[in-house]
């Protein structure tokens, strides 16, 4: 393999730049040419590519976002779009790909690989931590710390005003950010899509808190929870608790996607970027590089997409025990 392409796709995540850097510097080390593909599959279809050198990735290890930009391409979901992408790769002599992204990115890579045989190795980049085949995804740790910082701040004001706060965090269909930020932030309750939380349990938790003289409470709601958004949950709860209860809602939203990556994410991204590149060079294809129990492993895209990544029951149990 003489020339490869690297791209970021789907929602951006802190640490993607560190991952790009590892791919580019690793390619230079192994004497392979590397092309950056801008805007994910959209840029691949448009042939928006450029040759990257070691200096192309200088001074980015600490930056959030992605210097290659990211997109969710509808066109790549069509056979015509993928044909255009293949023609562009051919024209530029790109023989293999490192794809940095999440579920959607790997679904596209798997279909593309089956159709055109271009080998792709993925590096998991998403704040959601929802990919089977790795303990953690790039960006998750930073997102949790960003959410935690917000929860700590909200706790200050919640406590001053004796208020109940519902804080909504991201995660799409996964509750990882909610559980980890909730535990670290001492939340009274965490609502996640993986486990049904009846509204009666929310009411009960609040009432029990009051009976133990708790004057303020924080409930972290994962955006994918079956009860709805934090605004909706707060609305439903209002009529069921003390009429004097003072309730506020904060939705953290895209603040969780930005910011300088944590040390953990920079190291994880570096390991996974180099791991994906060296896997590709070594003949791996249609797999995602991941770290499980501190070992580098490769998992077929099909499994990373299809298999669930359940949240440990221990963590969920702990939230309940520690909030008493």
Closest distance between ligand F6P and the C-beta of residue 103, in Å?
8
Closest distance between ligand F6P and the C-beta of residue 193, in Å?
11
Q: Do the annotations mark residue 306 as ligand-binding? A: no
Q: How many CB atoms lie within 10 A of CB 48?
A: 17
Among the listed residues 303, 272, 307, 278, the one whose alpha carbon sits nearest the alpha carbon of residue 290: 272
Nearer to ligand F6P, 130 or 278 (CB): 130
Closest distance between ligand F6P and the C-beta of residue 173, in Å?
8
Nearer to ligand F6P, 126 or 134 (CB): 126
Q: Which run of H or E residues covers position 35?
A: strand 33-37
Closest distance between ligand F6P and the C-beta of residue 177, in Å?
8
CA torsion angle for 312, 318, 323, 324 (degrees, to 10)? 140
Evaluated on CA atoms 43, 46, 52, 55, the torsion sign reads: negative
Burial class (CB in 10 A: 0-12, 13-18, 19+), 72: middle
Closest distance between ligand F6P and the C-beta of residue 6, in Å?
20
Nearer to ligand F6P, 70 or 217 (CB): 70
Nearer to ligand F6P, 102 or 275 (CB): 102
CA–CA distance, 251 with 14 (Å, rounded to integer): 19
Helices (H), the chain: 16-29, 40-46, 79-91, 103-116, 140-161, 176-184, 199-211, 230-238, 263-281, 301-306, 313-322
Q: Do the annotations mark residue 153 as ligand-binding? A: no
Q: Do the annotations mark residue 6 as ligand-binding? A: no
Q: Do the annotations mark residue 299 as ligand-binding? A: no
Q: Do the annotations mark residue 127 as ligand-binding? A: yes
Which residues are bridge partners to 165 per DSSP? 218, 248
Closest distance between ligand F6P and the C-beta of residue 106, in Å?
13
Roughly what angle, to the nearest 10 degrees, separates helices 263-281 and 16-29? 40
Q: Do the annotations mark residue 155 as ligand-binding? A: yes
Q: Do the annotations mark residue 9 as ligand-binding? A: no
Tell me which residues are annotated as active site.
Answer: 128
Evaluated on CA atoms 84, 87, 89, 95, the torsion sign reads: positive
Q: Is-contact 177 256, C-beta < 8 A?
A: yes
> Where does this chain bind ligand F6P (CB under 6 A)?
11, 102, 126-128, 170-172, 223, 257
Among all chains, which residue has been given the structure tokens 């960006």?
139
* Cβ partners under 8 Å of residue 274, min gap 6: 22, 23, 26
CA 8-10-13 angle, to 5 degrees, is: 70
Residue numbers in the known binding site for substrate are 126-128, 163, 170-172, 223, 248, 254-257
Please enumerate, by residue number, every residue annotated as part of a binding site for ATP.
11, 72-73, 102-105
Annotated binding site for Mg(2+): 103
């Amino acid at each position: 393999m003489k020339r490869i392409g690297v791209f970021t796709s789907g929602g951006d995540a802190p640490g993607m730049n560190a991952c790009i850097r590892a791919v580019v510097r690793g390619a230079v080390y192994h004497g392979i040419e590397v092309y950056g593909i801008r805007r994910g599959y959209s840029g691949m279809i448009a042939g928006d590519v450029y040759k990257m050198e070691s200096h192309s990735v200088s001074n980015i290890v600490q930056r959030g976002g992605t210097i290659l930009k990211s997109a969710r391409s509808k066109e790549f979901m069509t056979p015509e779009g993928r044909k255009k992408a293949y023609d562009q790769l051919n024209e530029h002599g790109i023989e293999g790909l490192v794809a940095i992204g999440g579920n959607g990115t790997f679904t596209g890579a798997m279909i593309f690989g089956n159709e055109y045989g271009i080998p792709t190795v993925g590096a998991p980049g998403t704040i959601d931590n929802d990919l089977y085949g790795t303990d953690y995804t790039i960006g998750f740790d930073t997102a949790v710390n960003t959410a935690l910082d917000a929860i700590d701040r909200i706790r200050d004001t919640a406590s001053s005003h004796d208020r109940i706060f519902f804080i909504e965090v991201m995660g799409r269909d996964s509750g990882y950010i909610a559980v980890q930020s909730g535990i670290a932030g001492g939340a009274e309750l965490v609502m996640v899509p993986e486990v049904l939380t009846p509204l009666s349990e929310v009411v009960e938790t609040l009432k029990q808190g009051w009976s133990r003289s708790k004057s303020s409470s924080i409930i972290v709601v994962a955006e994918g929870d079956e009860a709805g958004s934090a605004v909706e949950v707060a609305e439903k709860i209002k009529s069921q608790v003390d009429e004097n209860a003072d309730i506020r809602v904060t939705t953290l939203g895209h603040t969780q996607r930005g910011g300088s990556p944590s040390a953990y994410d920079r190291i994880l991204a570096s390991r996974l970027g180099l791991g994906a590149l060296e896997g590709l060079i070594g003949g791996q294809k249609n797999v995602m590089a991941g770290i499980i129990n501190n070992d580098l492993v490769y998992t077929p895209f099909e499994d990373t997409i299809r298999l669930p990544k359940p949240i440990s029951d221990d963590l969920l149990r702990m939230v309940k025990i520690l909030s008493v």
